[in-house]
Structures are given as C-alpha cells and as structure tokens.
A and B are shown apart, each in its own frame.
Chain A
Amino acid sequence: MSLESALDGQIVICAGPGGVGKTTVSAAIAMEGALRGRQTCVVTIDPAKRLADALGLEALSNQPHRVPAEAFEAAGLPAAPLDAMMLDTKTTFDDLVHRYAKTEDRARSIIDNRFYQAISGALSGTHEYMAMEKLYELYWMGNYDLIVIDTPPTRNALDFLDAPKRMTSFLEGKLLKWFLVPAVGGGRGVFRAMNLAAVAFLRVVQKVIGAEALKDTADFFANFEGMYDGFKERAQAVYELLRQDLTRFVVVVSPTDQAVEEALFLVSSMASHHLHFGGLVVNRIHPRFKGAGGEPAGTPLGDRLVQIAEEFEQVRLREEQSLKRLESEVPSRRWVRIPYMNTDVANLSSLNEVAETIFAGSEHLARD
C-alpha cells in the first residue's frame, strides 16, 4: 500500500480524469522526492491558487523556480531541492518553433500566422504534446534526479502519449500539401491544379472558409517545410522517453463510476503500450468512522451524528462499489487511498500530509 515503486524512477507522470486532484498528487510526490534529497522538478498544468502560492509559483514564466527554503521552514521541514513550474502551452510551442526554424524570419512568420495561432493554443492534443515536450527538455537539461509531470485533463485518457505523433503527422500535412502550394507570384490563387477533383474541392472549401483562411493555412505549411524532420525526430525521442524503464506512470482517480471508467481504460492502454505502471492513487475518499453508527447515542447532538455517520458510511460503500472494478486490474499493494482532507492544501505542511499518506509505511531515508 505505497507508491514507493514510483519513486524508483527518474520520471513520474501522473495521469487520470479531470477533477480528481492530479496536480496536488503530483506536487506531493515531488515533495517526497525532494525531501529524500533528490533534485526534483514538478511541472503543473493548472494548479489551484493556494497550491501555486504554497509552491511560490508565478504564471507565465514557463521555467522551473526553486520553492523557497522559507516555505519549508514555515512547515517545520528541512529545505529541500524542489523546483516547480506551471506549463504555458503557447510559449512552449513557440520555443519549439524557434528551435527548429531555419531562420529567425521564418520562425516569426510562423508565429504570426493566424492558422498557427489557432492550432498552437486550441487544437486538441496541443496541451498534451507540450507537456511531454517540456518533460523532454527538462530531462535533457540533466539538472534533475526526479521530474514529476502533471498531465492535462484529457478527453481520451492516453492523448498525452499519442499527442506528439498525432501532432507531427498533422504538421506534416501530407495530404494538404498535395493540394496546396505557397502562393507564388499571385494571380493564380492560392492553389495549383494537381487534379480537377482537388480544385473543385478547394473551390468549395474556399467558399466556406474564405480565401484568406485558406491562404494562411497554405503559408503555414509552406513555412513549416523543413522543420518537420526535427519535430518528428523529437516526437519519436519523447515517445521512447515515455517507455523507458525509469519512467513511471501513476494513475490518479476518485471513487466515482465515471472516473473509474476512465482510469480502467487508462490502465489497460498503458499495459498495451508497455508503459511502466507506478501505482494507483485513489483520491477524495470519504473517511470511515468505524463503530460510529448504530443505536442512538443518548444526546440530541450524538443522535444526529449517528445519522450523519450512517449516511457517510453509505457513501463510503458506494465509493467502494465504484472502485471494485479496479481491484481486478490493479493489485492492492499498488493502491494508495487518500481520504478527503478537512482543509485545502494551502501550504507545504498540508502538502506534506498528502505525501505522508501516499508514502505511508515507506522508509523515509532522508527524513530520519
């Protein structure tokens, strides 16, 4: 009943449905790593304000920052080598364009392109792609013993895994290039006649989305020419990094049917992709008040509490029922349960409480 094996690796990726507390769990795992003396970085996607404040995070920097020693001190903990950052998808994508563009001009014209602006922020899969891209960058910087990554809430559980591949095949735009060429000279419109069907189709498309949008698209792919190989190689390298021995996937879930459904899918696709499973965290469980129910307690307050306790017990049983289907997929020694806390995670000491629950029973090497 511990997540110990997740910390054996160098990279921990926390995945799971939206609204289950992935960010908090990621931060807690990173904190544990750092308290054990490992140079650690946690990449968060959209932390709650109090958690962000607790980690000393500021938006828009897109680079890791050291969590101040005073924050650890205030929590009664020794200062630990913990860095944290908030992922900025757009900036990460821009950086990537700058990295692979042949010239600065070309990078500029891509970044100014309206089609690029539309896809770099909004295209489904972009967030996932950029989270993995950031992971790769941090990994190769070589400054960290442990990198913990929070993943964006995805509609399809393993989007973050396929995202780099899907994005590169999109950017390659084979089919589209077949239709479009850069608008050279002008006068003949934005497309050349490869065949009549294509032209007929493009006429309709142009009518629908307008000539300008079509031109933006053509320009984008023209400018992207030549950068594609770099992107593709990198996507492949990211994919290999995700599958290597020292990368561990932690699935975070909450005890509802819907979340369990998504987690099951996630666990089984991880197995088929040969990813290394690092454990299951069930977050936001109603606690058990053993022996509280039953006969009236003899005072009005006590009697009402007996009712409340019995209602909570019903909820707890419902939650256990939802979790049942995960039991056959994940052996119980890989499970960790985190009950609802009485307070929000607003500082490092409450984050440490979460970490202690996750790693209960583990040997706290650096802490002793």
Chain B
Amino acid sequence: MQRLLLLYLCCALTAAQAQHAGHEGHDGMQVTATGVVMNENRERLPNGCDQISGDEKFVIHAGRDYANNMPGVIYGMSQHEVRVRPCSRVTIEFINEDETRHQWMVHGLPKYLYPAGMFHIEAMGGQRQSGTFIVPAEDRNYLIHCDMAQHMEKGMRGQLVVGSGSGDLWAVTGISDAFRRSAYLPRISALLVILVVVVAFLLSSAARRRARPE
C-alpha cells in the first residue's frame, strides 16, 4: 500500500513537474533546498464557489519559541488558528525558526482539487516557504498540523476555520482541550476521594439521626 501510494505520488508529481517545468505556482510537488510545497492551487475553484472571494495572506512562524513556554508543549506556531472567508485564496508564508524541518499541512480538502485532500508546506531548518491554495465554500474546520513524528502531538496542531466553521477540533494548542488528558494528581488522591465519601456518609447519617424525633 505504501509503495502504491509512493509510486502514485511520484508519477503524479513527476508528471506535474514535467508539465509545469519552469513555472511558479503550479500544482504537484516542488522539492527545493528550502523545502516543499505540495498541491498548490491558485486558480481552480472548489465546487460551490463562483469566484475567489478574496486574497488572504498569513505569515506563520514555527518552532520551539512558539511553544511560548506553555507547560508540556514542545513545538508551536505563531498562530494555531487561521480564519478565512469561504472561497478565499489563502497564501501561507511559513517561516521555520528551528534548525530542524517543520511542516504546515491541511487535511480534508476536496480530493478533486487536492490529491489525498491535502495542502502541504514544508520548510527546512531556518528556511521560509510559501504556498497558496483556495478554500472550499462550506463552513468547516480543517486540521492543520506538522506531520513529523510527534510534532502534532507535542504542540503543532492547529485549525483552519472557513467561514463560521463547524466547531472546534480537539487539542488545538491554546484553543481547545486535549481529548485525552493525563491526571495530574498524586496517587494518594484516590484515597483522599474515598475518605471524603466516607466522611460525607458519616456526617449525613449523624445529621439524620439528630433530626429523627425520638
């Protein structure tokens, strides 16, 4: 399966490369010394869009510094939420301030425009990379993340909100809570809870006994 996908990816990409050699801002994948842009789209309209509603540009910084000393967060972005109008053409200027790779990847886009439903920017350490895509007409929240192993889990998880959105995604750094959250309590807390239950029971029965007419 992985190989099929890779083969498909490679064929699709090399075909796209050959078709668009020398052009800027075409579909497919460009791998350069500074990074990668995949499935860029400046012109083709999603279904339900009569025209591009407007151009929006975001400069997004990424790296350790943007974890902003949030407890338990290692990697972050200068904004974890990107709000755009439906059918707008969105340009992301992605600036990687770490010395390792980082990615800005959107998932769940329509597959007839974006192979695998994905728009992807990747910047090598210390590099900037920019890419443009057009968002669909529906109000919806899309996952943004860095898909390097554990980068999403350790902070690089965001959301793209088109129009009024469809409700926050879980575990967006600084925006929504983790779906699975550790218990930050010492083990003795369980005993404490049992103790409180017993004390409450005794107090309540004592109170009832006093209230009962003899």
Answer yes or no: do A and B interact: no
Which B residues lie at the A interface, using CB under 8 A? none
Which A residues lie at the B interface, using CB under 8 A? none
